[in-house]
Chain A
Amino acid sequence: MMRQDKKLEHALQKVQKPGRYVGGELNAVVKDPSQVEVRFAFCFPDTYEIGMSHLGIKILYSAFNEVPYFWCERVFAPWVDMEEEMRRENIPLYGLESGDPVNQFDFIGFTLQYELSYTNVLNMLELAGIPLRSADRPDLFNIVVGGGPCACNPEPLADFFDIFFLGDGEEVDMEVMELYRQCKKEGKSKTEFLEQAAQIEGVYVPAFYDVSYNPDGTVKEYVPTHGAPKTVKKRVIRDMNKAYYPKDFVVPLIDVVHNRISEEVLRGCIRGCRFCQAGFLYRPYREKSIETIDRQCRDLCHSTGYDEISLSSLSTSDYARLNELIDTLHQWTEGEKVSLSLPSLRVDNFSPQLMERINSVRKSGLTFAPEAGSQRMRDVINKNVTEEELMRTVNVAFTEGWTRIKLYFMIGLPTETMEDVLAIDELGQKVVDAFYQNKEKPKGKGVEVSLSAAAFVPKPFTPFQWFGQDTMETLQEKQYALKGGVHSRKISVSYHGAQTSFLEAVFARGDRRLCVVMEKAREMGLRFDGWDDCFHFDKWMEAFQACGLDPAFYANRHREFDEVFPWDHLDYGVKKEFFIEECKRAYQNMTTPNCREQCSHCGAACYGGGICVEKRASVV
Chain B
Amino acid sequence: MKNVRVWFEKQGSVRYISHLDLTRCMSRGLKLSGLPVWYTEGFNPRIYMTYAMPLSLGVCGERECMDIRLTEDRPLDQLAEAINAHLPQDLRVLDATEPVDPFESIQWGVYEIQLETQDPDGLEQQLGALLAREEILVLKHTKKGEKEFDIKPDFSSVQWTRENGGLRLSLRLPCSMNGSTNPALLLDALKRYEGAKPYCSITRKQLLTKDFSELR
Task: Give residues in A with beta carbon < 8 Å to B.
Answer: 1-2, 6, 9-10, 12-13, 18-19, 21-26, 251, 253-255, 259, 302-307, 337
Q: Is the CB of A19 within 8 A of B17?
A: yes
Bound-state CA distance A24–B200 (Å) is: 21
* List of A residues within 8 angstroms of B12 by Cβ: 1, 22, 24
* List of B residues within 8 angstroms of A19 by Cβ: 13, 16-18, 21
Contact of B58 among A13, A21, A259 (CB under 8 A): A13
Bound-state CA distance A1–B92 (Å) is: 13
Q: Is the CB of B18 within 8 A of A305?
A: no
Q: Is the CB of B31 within 8 A of A305?
A: yes
Q: A18-B16, A18-B58, A22-B12 are in contact. List 13 more A-B contacts (CB 8 A).
A: A2-B13, A6-B199, A12-B58, A19-B17, A21-B16, A22-B16, A26-B88, A253-B16, A253-B17, A254-B18, A255-B20, A305-B27, A306-B28
Bound-state CA distance A26–B86 (Å) is: 7
* List of A residues within 8 angstroms of B16 by Cβ: 12, 18-19, 21-22, 253
Q: Is the CB of B199 within 8 A of A9?
A: yes
Closest Cβ of chain A to B169, distance in Å, is: 17
Q: Is the CB of A253 within 8 A of B88?
A: yes
Can you name 14 A-B pairs with beta carbons within 8 Å? A9-B199, A12-B58, A19-B16, A22-B13, A24-B13, A24-B90, A26-B29, A253-B13, A253-B88, A255-B24, A302-B32, A305-B28, A305-B32, A337-B39
Contact of B31 among A23, A255, A307 (CB under 8 A): A307
* List of B residues within 8 angstroms of A304 by Cβ: 28, 32
Q: Is the CB of A305 within 8 A of B14?
A: no
Which 10 pairs across A and B sit closest by C-beta, in order of nearness?
Answer: A305-B28, A24-B13, A22-B13, A18-B16, A305-B32, A19-B17, A19-B16, A305-B31, A1-B12, A253-B17
Chain B 2-41 per-residue mask, 1 if CB under 8 angstroms from chain A, else 0: 0000000000111011101100110111011000000100
If A18-B57, A251-B28 touch, does A24 touch B14 (CB 8 Å cutoff)?
yes
* List of B residues within 8 angstroms of A305 by Cβ: 27-29, 31-32, 86
Q: Which residue of B lies closest to A338 (CB)?
A: B31
Q: Is B213 an interface residue (CB 8 A)?
A: no
Interface centre among A24, A26, A305 (most CB of B within 10 A): A305
Q: Is B87 an interface residue (CB 8 A)?
A: yes
Q: Is the CB of B21 within 8 A of A253?
A: yes
Q: Is the CB of B29 within 8 A of A254?
A: no
Q: Is B89 an interface residue (CB 8 A)?
A: yes
Contact of B14 among A253, A307, A337 (CB under 8 A): A253
Closest Cβ of chain B to A257, distance in Å, is: 14
Q: Is the CB of B199 within 8 A of A10?
A: yes
Q: Is the CB of B199 within 8 A of A13?
A: yes
Q: Is B145 an interface residue (CB 8 A)?
A: no
Interface centre among B16, B58, B86, B87 (most CB of A within 10 A): B16
